[in-house]
Structure 1
Amino acid sequence: MAPDHGSHRLSLRVLAVTAAVASAVGLAATSAAAAPPNPPPKSSKSFPGSVPSWAGSRTKTGIPLSNTTVEGEIYFNLPDLAGAKAAADAVSTPDSAAYGQYLKPGDWISKYAPTQDTVDATVNWLKAQGLVIMGVPQSRLYVVFRGTVAQINQVFSTTEQNYSFGGQTLIGPATAPSVPADIAASIQSVSVDQGRLLTRPALASPTSGEASPSSPDGNKPIQPPVTAPCSTSWGEKSVTLPEAYGTTSFPTFICGYTPKQLQGAYGVSTPGTVSSTAGSGQTVAIIDAYASPTIESDTNTWAAASGVPALAPGQYSQIVPDSQMFLDQALCAQPSGWQGEQTLDVQAVHGLAPGANILYVGGFNCGGGLDIAMSTILDGHLANIVSNSYGNVGEALSPDALQGEQNIHLQAAGEGIGLYFSSGDSGDEKANLGYASPDFPASSPYVTAVGGTSLAVGADDTYKFETGWGTARQRVVQDASGNLTYAGSLPGPFRFGAGGGTSAVFAQPAYQSGLVPAALAGGHRVSPDVASLADPYTGYRIGLSPITNDHVLKTGGFAFETYGGTSLASPLTAAQMAVAQATANKVIGFANPAIYDTAAAGGAEHDVAPPANPVSVAFSSTVSGNTYLVGMDHDSSLATAPGYDDVTGVGSMTEAFAQQVAAAH
């Protein structure tokens, strides 16, 4: 049975729904001019670990308007953090006597969460300062609030500044925020910066970021020197391009794989057939920001054209905020920027596990709203598999906030809820950060990080091969004599690829010891853990009615599109876990210890190693008009290798491997 959520609205214990949002927005209109921050009272405690790394003098660009509204979040200490970690490890580790003995939400909360009195004291203090409380989960792990820059400066004795980071102007504290000493002991972190609002869907299309060319006469489109039509299966079509890697004939990019093709390739069904009941009896929860107004009708239209059954009544349900509560839209990339993500997630799960129920929980923004969405699932145990196709820019949150977020993941593990997170689409993040970093939350030790591959599926729906997802491409041009050549050296500039790498924050978890090379780990957590299809040039076909007006959520006509990114890999992996749970009639929970144990014993995952010969496809863009040779397995400084690697983890997820993980119980 599907959970009976209908289209219920988000409602947590202290979430004041539209009235609170109206108040928060109103703050920006009524706030007075900026005032210098209050000096910290003598009986106060500052939180230097709550200042993000990007809030420094080199990135400072000015002072924000005092009436600008800022979201804040206070994370509370777990009274017994060591006990919560030990419990999460014990119920998730196959050789533990407590394996699979998950706690109910109320039991976890009563045993490990902060007390009601300590949380109430902080909430009451925030209210007394005039700040608007947006939400406190039943787990009492954090409180989300909003206030103006002037209020934040006064209340937390800091100075908010504008900083340039990640291509955006963000507000953050120039000095460590402080709180009164009588409540400080219960607080782990005070987040009063906009770094969380850089959370983005890990979504990629073949034409991501391309611009339409300008024609010399303003009328006639520019024609590429050669055109590569898409293929419906690997190698169906090929084109002749200038010589590269010892050949002039190259397969063309994939139009977009269908559910039948992926079910066959990954072993959910016999190649050439579709299972319409795979995953029956399971519920996969999906979290994103905002909500698509056409998700059910779009999915049913797509399903009719994709060979899978339409959503049965009640099979899809959602818990979403009213659209008037959609906050921070400009920084969060707008509802239209998340619609493709939600659509991809839902249709990826339904395509691979058509029998599973789907619960979508939408955040009111891409910051604290996502935490509230997560807690809605955990506090009610609404699903035991949760797909999260979004991530931050590396680990560039404040150190204390990262630990506060990990507490949420500990609750999930203790309750037997598996969290699957996209590893990211920007490789090692050097281009954005200037240094290598895995993306958070995928780098948390208590989530399953899903990396990416490029997938070749044959005409008979059978698996042919995979490479690591890392795309470099070079444009095909004509020289002065009219002959085809390449615009530069091959394979060309890095375009996008699976995120991964070694955490600078989290220590190596026990389950990675022995399987992850010590030279790679250096005593720290390495991500990803597993991988699935992510390359948009071998992507997945979805269908949606795109939002054309973010203010009123007006949509255009239905159309098919091809997407990839680890945004695709995460829901595909979650769907395979749902099928495995249905088959085994067991709950896998936090899967990493079982994943690594199974891989170490010689599991049925596809070990994705460097190909013996370079693999490339030809691609013609309908946006820029250019034709490219797209090289695969070129993921920034990350690299595939036999065994574990930081592009694909232990390997590509297959249904046989998921079944082995489930059998660990």
Structure 2
Amino acid sequence: MAVAALVTGTGVAALASGSAGTTATRSTIPGTVPSWATAANRVGPTNGSQSLGFRVYLSNRDPAGASAYARAVSTKGNALYRKFLTPAQYRAKFSPTDADVARVKSWLRSQGLTVGVVPDNNKYVEATGTISEAGKAFNTSFATFRYKGQTMRSNTTALSVPSTLSGIQGVIGLDESANLLHADASPPAGFRNAPPCSQYWGQKTISDTPAPDGTKLTPGPWSDNAAGTVTAYSVTAYAPCGYAGAQLQGAYGMTAPIRTGNDGTGVTVAVIDAYASQTILSDVNTYSSRHGLPPITGHLRQVVSPGTYIRPQNPRQDPEGWSGEETLDIEAVHTMAPGADIVYVGSPNNYRDLDAIMNRVVDRHLADIVTNSYGYGGEALPPGYIKPQEDTYIQAAAEGISLFFSSGDSGDETFGDPSATPTPDWPASSPWVTAVGGTALGVTQDNARLFELGWQSGTSTWNTTTSKWGPLSYLYGGGGGTSRLFAQPWYQKGVVPNAIATYNGTAPAARVVPDVSALGDPNTGMLVGQTQRFSNGTYYDEYRIGGTSLSSPLYAGMFALAVQKHGDYGLANPALYSARGVSYDVTKDQRSTYPGAIRVNFVNGENATDGYRYITRTFDWDEPLSIHVRPGYDDVTGVGSPAGTTWLNAVISYGG
């Protein structure tokens, strides 16, 4: 993977306009060719008459000053701590000027392109046209490339513009890097848990609860080959049916604060996804009534942002697929912060407008906290794609907004392949966001945390022919690892072990993901309620689900309790790292006692008509990966997960 060199501070290398290759009349825009657009990946031409939409991003005024200000207002002891800017103040101080926008709009129109939306902070100018028109305007050609199982369009050379437009920072939408975006939870329609499953950890095991079809299961296998040794463990507990309400509040020690009114009241949490569920209000209210939560009526606002360009008949369009993501996110936030207001902001499509939606939320200051359950599978994106969005994250911190991102569901993105390059996901790897990793969680009958382990799952399936478990292989797990783009941020210095921060052989030390963690393992996941289509009709039902797309909204909800007492934080990481000594340190100490769970699935995902599948899912099975749980900071769970009122009070007291 071709990546930019590490840079000090928090920027991405080589993103300013102009280069040694400029001519008297045009300047190249560095970082505008994706690393995947190589000759080896090229598969064919493009149709020049095809329409496309794109955004021309403009550089901030004094970008170094904007970064410095965002750091200052988020860090205790600084004279500017918590002196947050309003959106209007930020625009006046750092945003591109009206004159910058006017020059770009005039040039785009002169090229036969149609100008669209410009946001209030002047960060970009939207435009539409054909591929041929865009190629002529930016002095490039286009081709199609095959990468990670997808055929995607890209420009073949760096984009260039007239030298008078030196303020152009990047162009998003000409290449299809946005197709690499993934959301971490999209449950299929008509899915439900198969029995048996436990209401709390260990309630049912294979020794006391028969399999529904009479299958005689033996303990599931787990072997750890670390240091050349082999240790066998026995997995006997059936997976939980899914935790909800008081179970999750109790496991993270939030029951007492919530009961006494520290429930997120007065705090607004934004959830960013794509599209919008038509049944979200009734679903969340039904879910709340079943699990001891207050109604969300009056505390939920849904905004579907307009888009100037939606690709017609795009096979990636799947509004119902994202309804599960929206439901999970909102119910998770509401569980941990039942008094908070939630604003759901949906992108009009699921492939390229999430950058504009984030800019909208930040520049209109729609929330105190934003949780994002999507990301890109690694850092293999052009710097010209990353830097404009980094500027939005910097603006968020300067305004006092805390951003949380899921760290991903694919571990270090190698899937155990030793020839693959380990990488964290972006935007989780941005130094300006809080990356939330995943854990496996055991909750007792009394709603207390029994164990919490790193979420890295091995999987083994029961073979009905041999009556034995099949081989164990890596399946999925919380994202993490050492960035190849960003230098180590100030809040990680002295906390992240140097061996991890320099894992890639880089100097100086690099940014490491994640920062914190919470429940993510789908095998010990959250019970979610949603209207779905079943073979016998469309109606509300509940099912267990996970992923770090659960971890992020759970953590954001708990952080809302701190914001209620403290006020806005801006970038949350300085406060969260300061509280690391009172966070729950996720280690491997309990995995021999709680090695995994046996889950039962309906073959058809809905009922027993087609039979059952029996699967062992192990906890903290990170043997084939480069990321591992360790005492203290680690690259699977960060500084750990919330540990009740001690953690909450430490975060609230940050800054005095």
Structure 2 length as normaliser, TM-score?
0.85
CA distance in 1, matches of 2:170, 2:306: 29
| Residue 551 of structure 1: aligned partner | none
1:291-317 Cα shifts (integer Å, max 9, x gaps): 11111111112222222121133x111
Of 479, 482, 486, 1:506 maps to 486
Describe the shift of the 1:148–1:274 C-alpha distance in structure 2 as closer, same or farther (beyond 3 A): farther
Q: Is the 8 A contact 1:591 1:661 kept in 2?
A: no
Describe the shift of the 1:119–1:658 C-alpha distance in structure 2 as closer, same or farther (beyond 3 A): farther
CA distance in 2, matches of 1:154, 1:41: 16
Determine whether 1:182 maps to 2:164.
yes
RMSD: 2.6
Of 577, 581, 603, 1:596 maps to 577
| Residue 531 of structure 2: aligned partner | 545
| Residue 56 of structure 2: aligned partner | 74
CA distance in 2, matches of 1:312, 1:278: 16
Q: Is the 8 A contact 1:534 1:567 kept in 2?
A: yes
CA distance in 2, matches of 1:427, 1:280: 35
CA distance in 2, matches of 1:505, 1:90: 23
Describe the shift of the 1:249–1:394 C-alpha distance in structure 2 as closer, same or farther (beyond 3 A): closer
Of 482, 491, 498, 1:518 maps to 498
Matched residue of 2:442: which SS? strand
**Per-residue deviation, 1:331:** 5.7
Q: Which amino acid aligns with 1:341?
A: E
Q: Which amino acid aligns with 2:620?
A: D
Determine whether 1:199 maps to 2:181.
yes
CA distance in 2, matches of 1:360, 1:573: 17
CA distance in 2, matches of 1:110, 1:197: 34
Q: Which amino acid aligns with 1:403?
A: K
Structure 2 spans left out of the alignment, 5+ residues: 1-21, 208-216, 223-231, 503-508, 605-611
Trace 1:286-435 onto structure 2 (pairs within 5 A).
286-313=271-298, 315-321=299-305, 327=311, 330=314, 332=316, 334-431=318-415, 434-435=420-421
Of 464, 471, 485, 2:450 maps to 464
CA distance in 2, matches of 1:171, 1:53: 13
Determine whether 1:233 maps to 2:216.
no
| Residue 630 of structure 1: aligned partner | 617
Q: Is the 8 A contact 1:118 1:186 kept in 2?
A: yes
**Per-residue deviation, 1:415:** 0.7
CA distance in 2, matches of 1:331, 1:637: 35
**Per-residue deviation, 1:328:** 6.9
Q: Which moved more, 1:446-455 or 1:321-330?
A: 321-330
Q: Is the 8 A contact 1:515 1:644 kept in 2?
A: yes
1:202-221 Cα shifts (integer Å, max 9, x gaps): 2276x99x9xxxxxxxxxxx
Q: Which amino acid aligns with 2:159?
A: P
CA distance in 2, matches of 1:253, 1:517: 34
Of 631, 634, 641, 1:652 maps to 641
| Residue 475 of structure 2: aligned partner | 495
Determine whether 1:534 maps to 2:520.
yes
**Per-residue deviation, 1:67:** 2.8
Describe the shift of the 1:182–1:325 C-alpha distance in structure 2 as closer, same or farther (beyond 3 A): closer
**Per-residue deviation, 1:132:** 3.6
**Per-residue deviation, 1:557:** 2.2
Q: Which amino acid aligns with 1:242?
A: T
Structure 1 spans left out of the alignment, 5+ residues: 1-39, 211-226, 549-554
CA distance in 1, matches of 2:578, 2:283: 40
Matched residue of 1:65: which SS? coil
Identity %: 39
Of 230, 242, 247, 2:218 maps to 242
Describe the shift of the 1:97–1:603 C-alpha distance in structure 2 as closer, same or farther (beyond 3 A): farther
Describe the shift of the 1:265–1:383 C-alpha distance in structure 2 as closer, same or farther (beyond 3 A): same
Q: Is the 8 A contact 1:70 1:194 kept in 2?
A: no
Q: Is the 8 A contact 1:290 1:323 kept in 2?
A: no
Q: Which amino acid aligns with 1:503?
A: S
Q: Which amino acid aligns with 1:603?
A: V
Q: Which amino acid aligns with 2:524?
A: T
Q: Is the 8 A contact 1:239 1:249 kept in 2?
A: no
Q: Is the 8 A contact 1:468 1:640 kept in 2?
A: yes
| Residue 144 of structure 1: aligned partner | 126
Q: Is the 8 A contact 1:135 1:372 kept in 2?
A: no
1:50-90 Cα shifts (integer Å, max 9, x gaps): 10101111111111222333332222222211111110111
**Per-residue deviation, 1:623:** 2.8
Structure 1 length as normaliser, TM-score?
0.84
Q: Which amino acid aligns with 1:648?
A: T
Q: Is the 8 A contact 2:201 2:445 kept in 1?
A: yes
Describe the shift of the 1:652–1:110 C-alpha distance in structure 2 as closer, same or farther (beyond 3 A): same
Q: Is the 8 A contact 2:128 2:309 kept in 1?
A: no
